[in-house]
Amino acid sequence: MRVLFGLGLWLAVGCQTEEFPAPIEGSAYRITDDTPAEGSEIWIDMFPNRRACANAKVVEIEDCLPRADRASGELRVSFDLKDPQSSLELSRALSKEQLMVTQDGSAQDDFELIPHDPVITGQLFILLIDGSGSMYADDQERIRKVYSALLRPSVIQGFFPEGNRKTGVVLLRFSSKVSGIDGGAPKILRSPEEYEASIRDHLLQRSGGYTHLYEAVQYAVTDLLRLEEIERFLTVKAAEPTLVVLTDGFNNEDRRDTCADNVPRLQRTIDLLREVRANEGGATRPTVYTVGLGVRYREENKPKGLNRPVTTQGLCGRYGDYPIDPSLEDAGIDHVSMQWIAEAGGGYSFVKRKPRGLADVFEAASATRHRWYELWYRVADSLWHRRSFDVEIQLRSRERALTKFTVLPSPWLDGPTGQHELGAPWHTPTPFRHTFVVLVPALGLLLSLQFLGPAFFNARRAILRRARPRR
């Protein structure tokens, strides 16, 4: 009995914590509730136990539960995304490149993101294409790359998924002003046939003029979304607007413009983007991708840090006084502006030179949304699992979000080591009953030894008639 009591006390003390967070099944770990960071545009909502998985209407409960394996240093958690204003679930298309995972401040590179439950969502794709003269130079080399990318079958399939009647595309051309791709008012293309015909008939038609990039972005996230046809589409289809901006140069509104002249213009643009995204609900908040067609005009990127104000040094480097003329544009594209706009718009910025690279961007913008995600990661040294540790999961750039939780391993006890199947990247948990097959007989043997000694001693005394006689 003393052995059983001691073992029970050991288990109770080893698993107990001050706050008593949820246990991770199949292990001697516990996991706290996650805490979203202030200012997160969306919430990364973790599933710490079966109840949370069930409340989220997850069918694959076993894949949803957190898992931990001390021997391999692996941890698995699952999460979905929510609108912080309404607490409604948000379906998103996430990839590994869009996440940053840190443990106790150390970035984890060895991780995998597994999507679950694809959903059919309404989408309005707004393609804002540079129509300035440089796009049509050199026998229309650059605009023909865009033409080839937009007509790829994989891109068309992304814009108009089979069985999804809730998507549409708006094709816009901008130079000194913004118009539909045919030069008229913007309109929604609702079928692959209508989309292909519009590209073939109108994209290669030369327009020309200055590059009013910032004004075009401002129009696309405000006045355009208020047009009757577009506003009705977004409402009836519960569609999310996704803006893809494509250019090959700099914002250029006058022949005397310098790079420094664009500093206040860019600041106004990103201030408007942040305001629009802060005021709109999760379903109608526009997401902005930017694509530069060509090469970077200088090595430096946008200064690190969110919500940084635009400065001449940050935007232009040593090119602040340089006029925006063909000589500067021949050096490359203004990728720094594109990075600032994409960050404020919750999207990503790309620099591409080939049609295949452009197609990758359009496919990323139209990728399938999923309801929830499973995240595995592995630390280099399993000794990090011998004490409690903090984990942070952060969305990079797109819809800024950060959440933090703590994992508390037992200081003394360990769960059964996970099983590693041939070819599988991660361990699967070993049920505790496998441990009991070994543990219970071992405890039985210990208890038997407790009684065998006295029993043998008394039996020997009785057989040899050395028992004490009764008085």
Distance from C-alpha of 25 to C-alpha of 31, rounded to nearest angstrom: 10
Q: Comparing C-alpha atoms, which of 49, 53, 43, 63 is closest to residue 21?
A: 49
- Residues 132/177, Cβ–Cβ less than 8 Å: no
Could you tell me what percent of the chain has a pLDDT over 90? 39
Confidence of residue 304 (pLDDT cuts 50, 70, 90): confident
Give the architecture-level CATH label for domain 122-369. Answer: 3-Layer(aba) Sandwich (3.40)
Distance from C-alpha of 286 to C-alpha of 279, rounded to nearest angstrom: 11
Q: Is the pLDDT of residue 2 over 80?
A: no
- Which SS3 state, helix, strand or coil, does residue 247 take? strand
pLDDT in tens, 339-397: 999 888 888 888 887 767 788 888 888 888 899 999 999 887 777 788 899 999 998 76
Confidence of residue 12 (pLDDT cuts 50, 70, 90): very low
Q: Is the pLDDT of residue 297 over 50?
A: yes
Q: Is the pLDDT of residue 285 over 90?
A: no
Distance from C-alpha of 108 to C-alpha of 137, rounded to nearest angstrom: 45
- Residues 186/227, Cβ–Cβ less than 8 Å: yes
Q: Which residue would you say has higher pLDDT here, 332 or 441? A: 332
Average pLDDT over residues 446-469: 71
- Residues 251/269, Cβ–Cβ less than 8 Å: no
- Residues 86/281, Cβ–Cβ less than 8 Å: yes
- Which SS3 state, helix, strand or coil, does residue 45 take? strand
Name 255's Cβ contacts closer than 8 Å, sequence gap at least 6.
Answer: 325
Burial 118-139 (b: 16+ CB within 10 A, else e): eeebbbbbbbbbbbbbbbbeee
Domains of the chain: which residue ranges? Answer: 2-108+379-409, 122-369, 436-466
Backbone angles phi, psi at 372, to 5 degrees: -150, 165
Residue 457 half-sphere exposure, CB side, CA atoms within 13 Å?
Answer: 6
Please state, as a whole number, how many other Cβ atoms lie within 10 Å of the Cβ of residue 264.
10
Tokens in use for 304? 């690190």
Burial 70-94 (b: 16+ CB within 10 A, else e): bebbbbbbbbbbbbbeeeebbbbbb
Please state, as a whole number, how many other Cβ atoms lie within 10 Å of the Cβ of residue 308.
13
Q: Is the pLDDT of residue 96 over 90?
A: no
Of the listed ranges 91-95, 113-117, 230-234, the one predicted with least confidence: 91-95
Confidence of residue 418 (pLDDT cuts 50, 70, 90): low
